[in-house]
Structure 1
């Protein structure tokens, strides 16, 4: 019973997507996304790590250099010596990130100017804008001394941290003294761009792996020329006492010259750009739509969890491969809103669905009935009351009561051409009758025939006392439901269809006492296995037997299975009993075969055992014990054995069949879903119920049913066993019909193991 119709579902999906889009656009319009996007910067760096190119070498004005020179500002003849050393070693370019805008010692300034002249254009000097004075928003453009400019290029070293003080981007260039200047990073990487435009710095580049040389080592010639030959040299302060440090994502506070180097490394790889938010938002809408499509809540949760990861991953891939930095906050917000709203709606729908389901049977309850048909056109309402529901539960347990309701609901559904059936009370089923008056007459006749047939529950056939009431009138659906329930109560009082049965309390107590003795009875050998022969009609020989359990009680005498098997099922003692019967049967088969009596043996499996893993494992152990080959064993099951969990029951039977055990369907023809079981179960044999076989020799309808069943089974490669053979006419009919085997009192009653052996030897001797 779906909570959402297809139309309602599509409308809700559309509304959720529109709200998600609105939230994303609102974040962009307010600018909040840019601030939140900064939280993802460390993730971008961690997820896309990159080793520096090695083309840029940083000459550090480090602590060792400060300790060696011992004065500040440094005389510029030190810079001159470093410039000459690097030029002679074959550096491709030399760029200073050092303030050279004010005069120092005259000799030192002349020395640096001469070195720049000797370098003849391979050196770039910094230009920048600085604050006029504390508290003043105006800035003053700073250029190197005029004596340094003729033989040097000028590059801007200005950085603009974001409002939180963290540097995330660098300019392509700035304007100082009215002239556009390339940024230091653009100059080194030889990339062009407009002044006062910015590009994102790739902080995935590891600054700790940048090639570095100490300033004092270069000045004194303590370096290998190969370390700088053909490389771009960047000279700047890294000593803490020199300041010039910036906060960065992921790497924390690092020297400005290192930030410049990272910016240059970024441009060496390509020109990164800031991508539009439209693309990731569109992708977020697509991922959000994919996550809300699955109807299974678990799938929706998994997709909802995977979508943000996928979106972040695509953003990182775009940055690392295409050099495009896309915003992720707004699209993430779109995903969160879409998934959050949809999952809340799904949970609300699931909660509503749970309120509309009967927990015991899984079919709709009264709330579901009123919901599904509350706004529909008026139509008659039928209510079926199970009069002996309490009796069934008292005798067989709650599971039997649930199975009874399920089987009756199935019959109601069949009678009304697959109409929905609802459980509106412990013993009440309801349905809406969308049919004409003429159709209702036929429906009621068919329904009477279905409901008066015994119902098979836990391997037993039970008479269900079903009373039906129908309400045609009533202003509301609720009123019609009440009227139909009242009519069903009146039908019960008048004994319509069936009269309720009474509980034999004394018999119940006697049987419950027996259950307390059953375990000891198995251990003491009081449980006997009798065998009823099966005749191979073609050869007129007994080739198989069915194992039937008996209890030889020391006080009560011989007790038949009907007196204790149902209660063994209810009290969870049927498993050990069945395993005992299987083992006993296998041992008897082995002994017979040692004496030349080649028989197969059939054992009935209770409906309560089929889907139990522990029972299946215990049977596997018995089969592996080599008592007798599993090919000589047959397990007989009824249709109800697979009712509670069809898939697991079928899997268990396939497991037994794979080991060689034959699988027989008992009482074929009495269930409602028999044909589907022929397709689903690994059957080797059908047993036609005695109710069809006994009169087939004289009743045309029964004969037709038996013949068609035999033909169908043979076409499916199955053997056919007919039960209840009590006269020669019946056996003769089965011969002409092509039946494979016959079982019944005409062949033999169930016999103890010794008596059966004698019977078989006598038939062989005859």
Structure 2
């Protein structure tokens, strides 16, 4: 007797076919099949030896009929458009009809077990279930990666080879019989069993742990019934109805019906490329099995089919290993984010390219995005990653087929230009900068970026990649520091590079050793002539060069990624100084301008609020000054930063007002407290009537918006008098006092207080 075999289908609905009706799978089919199955199993175990019509015919076939009802209900639910479901339901039906006809023929009429009508149904089952498998495989293989398909094929063939070895006595005996219908049928069953068990292995290798519960039910059912088939075949005519072996086929039939029922609903999951474990385990086990069978064949006579399948297994197992090796090699040479060649590929490929370009020459371009860290800090690393991908696409569009573009890491790219002629590298650099100057769209924000490019020429600047990279890197930093956009390496640049590297190291030491300090300049309230706020100015107290102005080192701080450390030092000094003043009874606030990169630190508002609270200071004692370039670069981001800082109670001021492109809408929408009028307007008031008018209008504008106006660079009594006349709120400049270290500022302030008291 040959009972159920099974098949497989894809986990996704067919392309272009209507989805099955929505809804969650019901538990009703499980009850329909589970109740008669449970009754059958209980009575089978309790009846003892011998055949019982109620148990071994009525109940077991009732289980089969229940499975048929569940299957065709599933077909009706799917609307008959899911061919694999319909074919599988028909296969289950044929199997049940085969069981009924076999039992009736042999038990009640004493007919032969085979050939008989039952064989027609059983063989029809094979054809239908394999057709169902073919329909699903043809659709699914369009989406399956090549490596996953190889893994599945190796698993299928290796298991088929093992099954051929297990069924070796049956295959040898059947092939030795004279040719007849009975011989053909007896040989067909084990061969078709091999196909189905190979399908089980293929499904398991293809889906692995990504298979859904329905697939688990199908695979388990097929494993159970295939095991029962093997036992039946090896009994060699010793099978009798009414034994526990019948229960295996009944259980398997129910599990396959569960799969058919679940397959009529929208499925989840799909075949995927094998993960790291499966990609190695399946070929390794298959290879070991194939070798074992071939070695066993040298000691024992086995069927040619088993030997052939084992040989095919070894041949196929080579391909996943080769594919995996090629994939690993590709990954090791490819940047994960952009898909461009990485630094490893650059170094391995450039040597051969340079050797072939000795006569025509080449050029190496090293590109570094300007202020890329601000994008990561303000919009997040995901946005920064998307920006890098878009940058890679734009760069590639500007290159020729022989040029090599690679991402070296971070925001750094390298381009090897083949067949460089005079000026071609510079012209390409211009095109690349123009391409990247077109705004990018990230997180719904239009973002404009720029790039600094260093160029080194082969062979004049170096005869290997290491030398060219070193020269291009030097040229790139010259371009960045000068703001020229790109620069072709010159011998004098080495000195600049050495100075820059030495300065960077000195800056790192300065942050640790306390060389970065604040000087304070008084800000005078023009109504009361009192000092209300101290303007904090950054200075580097260099042990050799003396006081270094911020313009000479702020850019290096940002390039070296030291902005956070610098900001922490400055804020600690400023707030600690306010505490000192308050302990002396001085009600002074402090205003400070941090580097732009510090303001977009997502953690700054909360961290700053904690620093102020830990010193028991009112938050309004601190005023943060913000440049117009930060506000205009991204108003939505600036608004978010300012709102969070204002939420901590910190006062906000726009620095150098009037030198940028401020608009009324900008002043209306942003959470700010004051404007700082640029000193260029104040200096010009003495000889330019238009400048006086502009200052007067700017003050009136600030007041109309509820903002205070601070005048910078006041250095004459005439300017002071004009500002008082215009109603300016406060002013600072050399007329009142120059920036001084904290101790000297305190001495100046004490002297001023004594003078005021004397005059009173």
TM-score bin (small chain): 0.3 to 0.5
Which structure is higher in helix share?
A: 2
Which structure is higher in strand share?
A: 1
TM-score between the two structures when normalised by the length of structure 2: 0.42
Larger Rg: 1
